[in-house]
């Protein structure tokens, strides 16, 4: 059982708080992604878990054992570094076998495990080479092989794909996902690429400025973000945000865009009560809006500004009053720039955001920022 419990971990560098009261539990054999922009504290948190740059406050336990201040060597984990950190003066074989050699494993066993890992990563023919003779992609495989050979219960990965070119990254992502599913270790994966996070994680912890914004499954983080930052960070193109006002129209709660209005779904009635006649911000994803070439009830008239054909979809930039939205449509829908079309907003796809706190409002109890 390699459950990792992180309680109120903080890390400070001089005047900057890099990680602030991070609390989360990584379940046994779970693939957890720490996602966020540069400087959000994800790598700092990972390094604290590894024992490089230990936490200033809080507690980290692995498998029930308090490891907060243990040296890395005693934590029984493996790590893949962003820059690979392959030892330049050793051959690939010596690199991969380094951990086992430090553990004084018997030579025959080392050879067997090294050969096995090399096979898994398809670098069997590179074993006698030196790192300086290899491409970035090959070095990355050596780094992963070195980590897997240890067969540790906990695997940490610090942006392992970020130094690869786009095509290689795509291939390695799938290969890594398949490989790690077989390996079955508790894995913490740090990245700034939300596509990697969505595609690989069992759960995603989104971080910003040292604070965990949301901890949820990928689909939840995507469709039910806890705040505006998460909504804008996840998804490509990012979520659209429209400033509007909320008003009461008879029995209905409606949000007014320019001259049109859209009804709020009944389940949001209670949560939105305090926002009547006040500004509200609406979040909606590009693919969730319907485009119509003719007016219809509840559809908002807008103007097409730019049409970008992306092959699998068309990305339209739409002007709605003063605000610009991105709408993605089927590739056959190609209106002329400057033409008028109508947008329909399905009520259940709208996300309601408090313009001041930037929190997303959900019906019933407030959505948890750090779901457990």
Among the listed residues 89, 106, 277, 322, the single contact to another protein using CB under 8 A: 89
Output the smallest distance, CB 84 to another protein, in A. Answer: 9
β-bridge mates for residue 154, sequence order: 77, 186
Q: Which of 42, 93, 113, 146 binds another protein (CB under 8 A)?
A: 146
> What own/partner pairs with CB < 8 Å and gap ≥ 24 does 162-166 have?
162/82, 162/191, 162/192, 162/193, 163/82, 163/83, 163/84, 163/136, 164/136, 164/137, 164/140
The reply to whether 148 sits near another protein by the rule CB under 8 A is no
Q: Which of 64, 88, 311, 338 binds another protein (CB under 8 A)?
A: 88
Among 71, 279, 309, 346, binds another protein (CB under 8 A): 71
Tell me: does residue 1 bind another protein (CB under 8 A).
no
Nearer to another protein, 8 or 16 (CB): 16
Give 52 or 181: the residue with its C-beta nearer to another protein: 52
- 296 DSSP assignment: -
Question: Binding of another protein at residue 70 (CB under 8 A)?
Answer: no
Rounded Cα distance between 121 and 95, Å, is: 14
- Asked if 109 touches another protein (CB under 8 A), the answer is no
Nearer to another protein by Cβ, of 150 and 361: the residue is: 150
Whose Cβ is closer to another protein: residue 103's or residue 258's?
103
Token pair 């609406």: residue: 282
Using CB under 8 A as the binding rule, whether residue 79 contacts another protein is answered as: yes
243 Cβ contact list (under 8 Å, min separation 6): 279, 280, 281, 282, 323, 355
Q: How far is the CB of 66 from another protein (least distance, A)?
A: 19
Residue 131 sits in the site that holds another protein (CB under 8 A) = no
* Residue 222 to residue 329: CA distance in whole angstroms: 19
Q: What are phi and psi of 80, to 5 degrees?
A: -110, 120
* Interface pick for another protein out of 40, 62, 67, 98 (rule CB under 8 A): 98
Number of residues lying near another protein (CB under 8 A): 21
DSSP for 63-74, written as a single string: TTEE-TTS-GGG
Least Cβ distance, residue 11 to another protein (angstroms): 16
Q: In this chain, which stretch among 67-75, 184-192, 224-232, 357-365 interacts with another protein, using CB under 8 A? A: 67-75
Token digits of residue 214: 């949301």
- 163 touches another protein by CB under 8 A: no
Distances (CA, A) of 283 to 23, 48, 140, 316, 362: 28, 35, 39, 17, 12
Q: How far is the CB of 89 from another protein (least distance, A)?
A: 5
Q: DSSP string of 37-82?
A: STTSSHHHHHHHHHTSS--SEEEEEETTEE-TTS-GGGS-EEEE-T
Rg over CA atoms, the chain: 25
- Residues forming contacts to another protein in the complex (CB under 8 A) are 50-52, 71-73, 77-79, 81, 83, 85, 87-89, 98-99, 102-103, 146, 150
């Amino acid at each position: 059982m390699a459950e990792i419990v992180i309680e109120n971990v903080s890390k400070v560098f001089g005047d900057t708080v890099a990680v602030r009261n991070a609390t989360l539990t990584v379940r046994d054999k779970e693939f957890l992604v720490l996602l966020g922009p540069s400087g959000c504290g994800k790598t700092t948190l990972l390094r604290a878990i590894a024992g490089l740059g230990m936490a200033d406050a809080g507690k980290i336990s692995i498998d029930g054992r308090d490891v907060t201040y243990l040296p890395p060597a005693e934590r029984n984990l493996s790590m893949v570094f962003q820059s690979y950190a392959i030892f330049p003066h050793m051959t690939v074989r010596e690199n991969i076998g380094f951990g086992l050699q430090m553990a004084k494993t018997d030579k025959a066993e080392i050879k067997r495990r090294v050969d096995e890992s090399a096979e898994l990563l398809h670098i069997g023919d590179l074993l006698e080479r030196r790192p300086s003779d290899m491409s970035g992609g090959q070095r990355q495989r050596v780094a992963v092989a070195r980590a897997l050979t240890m067969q540790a219960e906990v695997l940490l990965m610090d942006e392992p794909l970020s130094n690869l070119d786009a095509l290689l990254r795509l291939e390695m992502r799938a290969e890594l996902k398949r490989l790690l599913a077989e390996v079955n270790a508790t894995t913490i994966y740090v990245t700034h690429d939300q596509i990697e996070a969505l595609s690989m994680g069992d759960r995603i912890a989104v971080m910003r400025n040292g604070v965990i914004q949301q901890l949820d499954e990928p689909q939840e983080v995507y469709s039910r973000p806890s705040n505006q930052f998460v909504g804008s960070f996840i998804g490509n193109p990012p979520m659209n945000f429209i400033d509007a006002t909320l008003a009461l129209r008879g029995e209905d709660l409606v949000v007014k865009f320019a001259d049109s209005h859209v009804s709020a779904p009944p389940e949001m009635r209670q949560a939105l009560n305090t926002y009547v006649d006040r500004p509200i911000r609406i979040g909606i994803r590009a693919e969730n809006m319907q485009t119509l070439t003719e007016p219809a009830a509840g559809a908002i008239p807008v103007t097409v500004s730019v049409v970008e054909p992306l092959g699998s979809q068309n990305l339209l930039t739409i002007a709605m009053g003063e605000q610009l939205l991105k709408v993605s449509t089927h590739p056959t829908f190609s209106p002329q720039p400057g033409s008028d079309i109508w947008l329909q907003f399905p009520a259940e796809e709208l996300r309601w955001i408090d313009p001041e706190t930037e929190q997303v409002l959900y019906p019933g109890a407030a959505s948890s920022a750090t779901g457990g």
